[in-house]
Amino acid sequence: MPGGTGIALAGTVMSNKFRRGAMLGTILIIVLILLLIGAFPAWPHSRSWGYWPSSSLGLIVVIVVILVLLGHI
């Protein structure tokens, strides 16, 4: 039955797209969290920066988490 094969193949393609998107979102969140930790002003050279780097990266993390939860990433 040719029709059944096409339907099964379409389901596989959609499943692979979903997995790739979910994995990309997870990797993106992990990288952003590591950047957030790295931007924390705990080292002498970065104390004068204030909380600007960590707060802006924190905002980006929140936006990415919301987009992942809504399924846009």
pLDDT for residue 8: 52
Q: What is the mean pLDDT of residues 18-45?
A: 74
- pLDDT of 62 over the 70 cut: yes
Number of domains into which the chain is organized: 1
Cβ-based neighbours of 25, under 8 Å, separated by 6 or more: 64, 67, 68, 73
Q: Is residue 1 part of a domain?
A: no
Tell me the per-residue pLDDT of 49-59, one tens digit each, with 9 for 90 and over: 777 777 787 78
Q: Is residue 54 part of a domain?
A: yes
* pTM over 0.85, yes/no: no
Q: Is residue 62 part of a domain?
A: yes
CA distance 19 to 35: 24
Per-residue tokens: 51: 């909380």
Domain that holds residue 51: 20-70
